[in-house]
A and B are shown apart, each in its own frame.
Chain A
Amino acid sequence: MSVEEMGKVSDRLLRLLALCTILFLGVLAISPIKDFRREWKQYKRSYVKYAQTRPDTKKLLADYRPDIDQIWIPGMNVVDRCTTCHQGITQASLTGAAVPQPYRAHPPVPHNVRDWGCAICHRGQGAATEVAEAHESTLAWEQPILPTRFIQSSCGTCHYANLSQTPQLTRGRELLAELNCQGCHRLRGIERPAMLGPDLTSVGTKVRREWIYKWLKEPRTIVDKDGNAVVNGYETEEEPRMPKFRLDETQLRALSAYLSVQRAHPVTSHKFDSRVVAAWSKNPELVSQGELRFKQMFCSTCHSLAVTRAGETKLIGGGIGPELTKVGSKVNPDWLAAWLRDPQGYLPHTRMSRYGWPDEDLYKVTQYITTKLTDSDLLANVPQLGAPTDQEIDLGKRLFQEKGCGSCHSIAGLNPQKDFGPDLSALGAKNASELEFGKAAIPHNLVSYIQAKLQDPLSVNPRARMPQYNWNQADLDAITTALLSMKGAPSTSALQNLVVPQKDTSFRPPGSFGEVYERYKCYTCHKFNGFGGDLAPDLTYEGSRAQRQWIVEFLKNPQTLRPTLVLRMPQFNMSDKDAATLADYMSLALQHPDANAASVDTKEFTPARAALGKQLYEVKYQCQACHTIGGTGGYVGPNLNNAGNWLTPAWIEAWLRNPQALVPDTIEPRRQFTDEEIKSLTAYLLTLRAGIKPQKSAAAHSPAPASNSAQGVGR
C-alpha cells in the first residue's frame, strides 16, 4: 500500500471516525436526556413554574428540593414518595378545585399528611415515581389506589372503635352484624352472638310445612328490579335479614319436611280464664278492643304493620321484631298465646320482653292477631305437600347442613356449624391474583370483586354457596367499605401500637336486677355502658340523672319527655316489686362521678335564687328556644314541666357545667355559666313540678316509624 493510498484510506477512516464519535456522543447523551425528562422531574419543574404564578411563591417554594421527596417510616413498612409530585399537599393556599392536580392541597384531616404519607390511606404504590405505577395496579403491585368513596375503610384499619367522622364505615360494620354475616364468615371485631337466626328446635309447633315451603322459596321480603323492597306485598325500607337461597322443588320439599317435624318442645294450649272467655267471646267489640290493646302496649315500637293512609299502603312501626301484617295466617294460635306469655320459653335469646299479661288482655290481643292480621291468600301458590316422608326428612336434614342453615339457625341435637364460609378478617389486604374472578366481566381488582360477589355471588363463582342478598347502592358501598377495612392482624409492632381497640361493651348485671333486666330485655332499646340498642335513651348514668321515685313511677306508667318523639316505651304491666328492684339498682349503681349528690346543699336553692334562675332561663340564655315548660317553648330538648320531680340537683348542676362530660354526644352546647348562675338555674328548675298524668292520648297516636335510621339523631 502506497503512502497516497494510505492517505486516501485514512481520509475515509477519519470521516467514519468522526461519524462514530458523533454517534457515540449522541448515545452518551441519551441517559442524561432520559433522566431530565423523567415524569416526576417534569412535575417538579412545572410546580416551580406554577408557584411563580402565585402571589405566595416564596412560601410555596420554601422547602422545595429538586430531587425525590420520601416519607420513610420503617416500623410501618411505609415508603412514600407521593409528595414528590403532590408538592402542594400541605400548602393551605392551594385549596380548591381551581388549583390543578397534582399540586392541590389535601383537605384538613386528623392526621398530618407529611407525617404519614399518602399510601397508608389511599393505597397505591408509595415507592413508585411514575403516575401509572403509583396509582394503578401493575404486575408488580396489585393494590391500586382506593376510590374516594371507600376511603373510610382505611380509617377502620387502625380504628377498630367506631369514629363519628366515618359514618359509612360504621354503617357497614352495623350491616355486617345485623345481617349475620358472622354466621358463616370470620370477621374482625364482630363476635358471634348467642343467637343469629331463630332457633328451629321446635319450629314445627309454630308454623306449618306449607308456610316453611313458601318462606324458603321467597323469603317474605321481595326486591323488584328497581330496588324497591317489599315485605308481604308492602313497601319497606328494612333490610331483609333472611337471604334468598337458590333451592329447587325437591330441595324445598325436603327442607320443609325436615323442619316441619321439629317439635322437640310441644306447646301446651293456654287455658284462658273461663269468665274472660264468657265475657268476651260473643262480644262484637272483641277484635277492636284487641286492636286498641295492641296499640296501647306499643307493640309497634318493635313490630311493623301495613297501614293505609290516603290511599297509600305503607309499613309503619319498628324493625326490631318481625313485621306482623299477616302473622295470623302464619302461626299456630296455641303457639301464639304461649309465645306472648313467655317468649323466652320458646327462644331463650329472643329480644322480646316478657309482659305481665292479664288473661283478658292476652285473650283480646290473640283474637285480634288471629282474626285481623291474616291473609287467606298467603299460601295460595304453595302446592299441596301432604305428610312428610322419611326420605324427604333425611334429604332435608342433609340439605340443612350442606346449605349452611346451621350457621345461623340451631336445632337441638345438631352440631352448630362454624366457619362455614371463608375467613374474611383479612379480605381487605388481598391481592387481585388471590381472588377468583371466574367469567365475570369486571375489572380485576379487590373493590370490583367484593361488589360483584355481594350483588350476585354466582357471577364470580358459579358454585358459590353464598345466598342472594339485595342491596341498595349506599348499603353496598358501606358494606364494601367495612370489608376493605379488615386487613388482618397488623404486620408490625408499630402498626399494632396504632390500633384503637373497640371498647369492651357488655352489661350483664348479676342478682335480682339482672333477672328483671333480662326478663324485660331492657337492652333491646336502651344502652348501658355502651351495650344495647339505640332506640331509647342511654341509661348508663340514669341513677345520677333521675330521682328514684320518678324512675319507679315512670316504669309503672311510661310517658314521653320529648315533644318531637312519640312515646315508644311499652306498658310492661310491671309489678311494684320489679319496678323497685330496677329503680334501687339504678340509683345505686348507674352513677356518674361528676354528679356528686354529697356536694349539693339543698339549702342553697332559695326562692331568690329560683327567681334569678327564671330570669336567666327566659331572658339571658333563652332556654325556651329548645325546652318546653308548660306547653310553650322549643321541640329540641326534653320538656322540663316536671324537672323538679324528675332530675336530681347534682345532675342538673353537673349538666349545666358540662353536658358533654355526662353524655358525650348530647346536642346541648356547653355554656360558660358562672357558679352562681348554675346554682340559680338549678334552683329554678327544681321548682318545676307537675303531677305525672297517665298518657291517655297514647292510643290515638299512630305508631311512629323508627327514626334511628335518620342520621345524627342526637338524644
Chain B
Amino acid sequence: MRLRRMFLVALLATLPAVHGCRKAASTSASHAPLISYDTEADWTDPQKIIPLGYQEAQGKRVFYQYCVWCHADASPAGPSNRSNLTPVPTLLNDGSVLNGRNDEYLQNMITLGGSAMGKSAMMSPYGKTLTPEEIRSVIAFTRAVAQPPYQPPARPGSQYSPK
C-alpha cells in the first residue's frame, strides 16, 4: 500500500519534468511576421507583386525620387526622359544588363557617375547627394525587381571576378 503511494508521489514529482520536455523548441519561422515592409509590382507583369525588405524599400524611395526620370519608361510626372537621351539609359529592371554587373561596379557607377566609369557623362555622380547606404539600397532594389531574376554570386563579388 505504502509502496504504491510512494510510487504515486514519485510519478507526480516527475510530471512537471515530462511537461517541460514536451515544450521543445518549435519551428521558429512560423512566428516571424511574413508580410513585407513594402512591395513593388513587377514592371513586366503588374499582377506579380514583389515583396521588399527594409533596405529594398529605401532603395525604392530613392529610385522614385532621383532615378525614375531616366531609368524607367514612365515617371511620376508622366512622360519619361529616357527616350530623350542617347545612349538610351538602361531600364532599372533590365536583368539582362544589370545582372552581369556586380554590386561594386554599380556602387561606383552611381557614386562617381558615367564619365568616371567610361560611360555617358549624362549619368551624373550621386556620391555627394546620396549616402553610401542609400546607394546600396538602390542596388538592392535593382536586384529585387530584375527581370530575368538576379542570382547572387556564390561568393561576394570583387573587381577581379569575370563580368
Interface residues of A (CB under 8 A from B): 16, 20, 23, 26-27, 30, 33-34, 37, 39, 42-43, 85, 96, 100-102, 107-109, 130-132, 135-136, 145-149, 151, 164-165, 167-168, 562, 564-565, 619-622, 625-626, 633-636, 660, 665, 667, 669-672, 704, 707, 710-714
Indicate whether B1 reaches chain A with its CB closer than 8 angstroms. no
Instruction: Determine the chain A residues whose CB is within 8 A of the CB of B69 once the complex forms.
Output: 626, 634-636, 667
Set A107, A620, A621, A711: member contacting B76, Cβ < 8 A: A711
In the complex, A33→B81 CA distance in Å?
Answer: 68
- Of the A-B pairs whose beta carbons lie under 8 Å apart in the complex, a sample of 24, sorted by A's number, is A23-B6, A30-B13, A30-B17, A34-B16, A39-B24, A108-B54, A109-B54, A130-B23, A131-B25, A148-B35, A148-B36, A149-B33, A164-B61, A564-B79, A621-B124, A625-B81, A635-B81, A667-B66, A669-B66, A670-B128, A707-B78, A711-B76, A712-B64, A714-B66
Residues A714 and B65 in contact in the complex (CB < 8 Å), given A42-B25, A672-B128: yes
One digit per residue, 1 when the CB lies within 8 angstroms of any chain A CB and 0 when it does not, for chain B 1-25 equals 0010010001001101100110111
Given that A635-B79, A713-B77, A714-B65 are contacting pairs, would A669 and B124 also be in contact in the complex, using a CB cutoff of 8 Å? yes
Q: Which residue of A lies closest to B67 (CB)?
A: A667
Q: Mark B73-117, 1 if CB is under 8 A from A, else 0.
A: 001111111001100000000000000000000000000000100
Q: Which residues of A contact B84 (CB under 8 A)?
A: 633-635
Question: A669–B109 Cα gap in the complex (Å)?
Answer: 14
- A233 to B61, alpha carbons, bound, how many Å? 35
The interface centre, meaning the residue of B6, B21, B75, B125 with most chain A CB atoms within 10 A of its CB, is B75
Residues B78 and A704 in contact, CB atoms below 8 Å apart? yes
Which residue of chain B has the shortest Cβ distance to A715 in the bound complex?
A: B77
A634 is contacted by which of B32, B55, B81, B125 (Cβ under 8 Å)? Answer: B81
- Output the least CB separation between B2 and chain A (Å): 9
A667-B65 contact, Cβ under 8 Å, with A101-B32, A165-B58, A625-B85: yes
Query: Is B44's CB within 8 Å of the partner chain A?
Result: no
Judge whether B13 and A27 touch: CB under 8 Å: yes
Task: Report yes or no: B17 in contact with A147, Cβ–Cβ below 8 A.
Answer: no
Residues on A with C-beta less than 8 A from B77 are: 562, 564-565, 707, 710, 713
Give the complex CA separation of A360 and B84 in angstroms: 44
Distance (whole angstroms) from the CB of B57 to the closest CB of chain A: 8
Q: How far is the CA of A564 from the CA of B33 in the complex (A)?
A: 41
Q: Which B residues touch A620, using CB under 8 A?
A: 115, 121
Contacts of A107 in B (CB 8 A): 53-55
CB B14 to nearest CB in A, in angstroms, measures: 6
Chain A residues whose C-beta falls within 8 Å of the C-beta of B6 in the assembled complex: 20, 23
CB neighbours (8 Å) of B120 from chain A are 622
B54 to chain A, nearest CB (A): 4
Q: Which residues of chain A come closer than 8 Å to B79, judged between CB atoms?
A: 564, 635
Q: Complex: how many Å from CA A34 to CA B24?
A: 10
Contacts A626-B69, A710-B76, A713-B76: A146 and B81 contacting too (C-beta < 8 A)? Answer: no
Q: Which residues on A sit within 8 Å (CB–CB) of B61?
A: 164-165, 167, 711-712
Cα of A23 to Cα of B24 in the assembled complex, Å: 24
Among A109, A147, A151, A669, the one with the most B-chain Cβ atoms within 10 Å of its Cβ is A669
> Which chain B residues lie closer than 8 Å to A660 at the CB level?
129
By CB atoms of chain A within 10 A, which of B10, B13, B21, B28 has the most? B28
A148 touches B33 (CB 8 A): yes
| Residue of chain B at shortest CB distance from A29 | B17
Which partner residue on chain B sits nearest A97 by CB separation?
Answer: B53
Add 20 more A-B contacts to A39-B25, A712-B65 (CB < 8 A). A20-B6, A26-B14, A30-B17, A39-B24, A107-B54, A145-B33, A148-B34, A149-B35, A165-B61, A619-B121, A621-B121, A625-B81, A625-B122, A626-B69, A634-B85, A635-B84, A667-B69, A669-B126, A671-B124, A671-B128
| Nearest A residue (CB) for B17 | A30
Contacts of B54 in A (CB 8 A): 107-109
* CB atoms of A149 and B17 under 8 A apart: no
